[in-house]
Structures are given as C-alpha cells and as structure tokens.
Amino acid sequence: MPDDLEQLRRTTPDLRQLDPLSTEVRSWLDQAYHALNRADHVEATILKLHERSLLDPARKAVASEEIVKTIDRARATTQIMDRMGLLRRAS
C-alpha cells in the first residue's frame, strides 16, 4: 500500500493544466481513489471532494494542490502506522 501511494506521487499528472475529463487524468484519479480507499477511507472521500473542484476553473489550482496533499497525508499516516506496527482496517 505505501508503494501504491508512492507510485501515485511519482506519476501525478499536471492536474492544473490537463483536462480533468481526459483519459489520462481520469485513469490516474481512479487509481488514486482506489489506493487511498485501501489506505484510509476518509482521505479517499476527501480526494473525491477535491476531484469535483477540478471542473471549476476558479478552483482548479487549489484542488490540484489539495489532491497532492491528500495523497501525502495518507502516505505519512501509513508510514507512521507501519513503524508502530499498527494494522490498518481491511477495505
């Protein structure tokens, strides 16, 4: 799971510039949602909220940054839980 989140960060498309309805962005957002949902259901829900804002030109830049921060937060939480030996809930 941490590898999934790490891979997402390495492959993050330029969400500020690309069409949020393009195949590339849709595919990446779907992967992001599924990886986040496995790691943290709340962060997956937050991703969906920001994803909707990508369609609004006035909010697109902020939404793009928030999506990246959401993934980073889930990565950090997962790393902490792994270091402490805590189990995550199964999806």
**Total domains present in the chain:** 1
Q: What does the block give as tokens for 68?
A: 């990246």
Comparing C-alpha atoms, which of 53, 6, 13 is closest to residue 29? 13
Give the domain range for residue 76. 2-84
Question: What pLDDT score does 45 carry?
Answer: 97
Decide if 91 is inside a domain.
no
The pair of structure tokens assigned to 2 is: 């941490």
Q: How far apart are CA 8 and CA 11, in angstroms?
A: 5
Identify whether 50 is part of a domain: yes
**Residue 32 covered by a domain:** yes
DSSP 17-80: TS-TTSHHHHHHHHHHHHHHHHH-HHHHHHHHHHHHHTTSTTTHHHHHHHHHHHHHHHHHHHHH
> Over 60: is that where the pLDDT of 91 sits?
no
82 — pLDDT class (breaks 50, 70, 90): confident
pLDDT at 1: 56
Q: Is residue 43 part of a domain?
A: yes
Whole-number percent of the chain with pLDDT over 90: 81
Read off the pLDDT of residues 46-60 as tens digits, 9 standing for 90 and up.
Answer: 999 999 999 999 999
Amino acid occupying residue 11? T
Domain-located, residue 89: no
pLDDT in tens, 32-81: 999 999 999 999 999 999 999 999 999 999 999 999 999 999 999 999 98
